[in-house]
Amino acid sequence: MGSISYAIPHGSSARAEVAQHVRGTRAEVIASNSAPGDGCDWGGTYFAAHREEHGQVWASITLFAQYRGDVVIKMMDETMGPTAVGVGATVLAALTDPPEGEYARQWRREAVHYQQQRSAALAARGQWITLATPVTLRSGAHIDTVRVENLRLWKAQSGTRIRPHWDWFMAEWTTTHPGS
């Protein structure tokens, strides 16, 4: 499946254009959320639960980017095997039985796993965690034990505040005590 691109109208944004594009499909959108992109080609991902006239609810996954005042939109559905990292709990909860095909079932499993990992990270707020793979700070220091302040902020034992990648909790980590 290809993509479309067009100039972003004055006063709008790439995310608003994507939402309007997705809502213009044949099926009613009953839940949606957006997440940051892959950091390379795509600036964001927009997830939506669509209800068909006969009641089936399926997921669309729309990648989008903004480039020189244009929005680029690539719309897919769960049967095409796109990423489920970033899908919201409300979108996932709205879905009915998956469409036929292994890609859709795999997508649903990945979406459930994402939500489980995110829930575990939310439960870890205020606790120390040990990362299986240390992060390298701009200073060159390597840190593998941090305190989770919230999903977007860690604190090192030195007191240094660290802004982790938005989906850090998808990597391997365990709760721990500092110095253990």
pLDDT in tens, 65-98: 988 899 999 999 999 987 888 999 999 999 998 8
User: 26 and 59, same structural domain?
Assistant: yes
Does the structure show a pLDDT above 90 at 37?
no
User: 99 and 22, same structural domain?
Assistant: yes
**One-letter amino acid of 162:** I
User: 86 and 45, same structural domain?
Assistant: yes
pTM of the model: 0.85
* Band of pLDDT at residue 42, cut at 50, 70 and 90: confident
* Domains: count for the chain: 2
The average pLDDT across 47-54 equals 94
